[in-house]
Amino acid sequence: MCNLGFFLSLCLLLAAPAAAAETEETASPASAETSQTAAPADTELPADEDELPIEILPPEEMPPLDVEASPRPECSDSLLVQKIVEKIEAYQTEHPSTMLIDRRRDILLRRNLSRFDEVKVEGFTAKQDFNVANAVIMTKINRGLNDADLRLCKSLGHGRAAGVYALIYPVGEGNVVDIINFLPGENLSFIYD
């Protein structure tokens, strides 16, 4: 008998959202009719109306990006490598590893990030590295850049450091450096002046 009571209460709980959805559906045709009979946007509505007409303006044109104003640093630039290592150290300090072996891997990763070499952006495919190809495409689309505006650097280190890339692109008066493949699923970024 207890199981039957439980079953009936479960059925009532499941039926309550369905009944609420039915009342919303019966109310929605009426609201659709009122929205179709609403005043056009160019007519004035009385001040006591809760809803005011929305005026859609054309998007403002963004000033053209001066790509030549801030040249991208070379991959072999020691200051660039130093800033990449500092950014990784800062992340590892904020998110310390709990296990001894992970702490040792973190130290080895920083030691192995001593040199970077340039990789051609054009023709870089997902077969070479999916995360890097995705970051390159998303940067080109979102920032409106082409291959010539980007610089891609690959770590010459060993082990886990071998898959770390740095994508450099212009933003405003400086450059942004995205560190790719250091963290799974996200990139570390910093502004390089």
- Tell me, what's the pLDDT at 6? 52
β-bridge pairing 165-171 and 151-155: antiparallel
Q: Which two tokens stand for residue 157?
A: 């280190």
Which residue type occupies 133? A
Per-residue pLDDT of the chain (193 residues; tens, 9 = 90+): 555 555 555 555 555 555 544 545 555 454 444 444 444 455 554 555 556 565 555 555 444 445 555 688 898 899 999 999 999 899 888 988 889 988 888 888 888 888 899 999 998 999 999 999 999 999 999 989 988 999 999 988 777 667 889 999 998 888 999 999 888 778 888 988 7
| Extents of the domains making up the chain | 67-192
What sign results for the dihedral spanned by CA atoms 65, 71, 75, 78?
negative
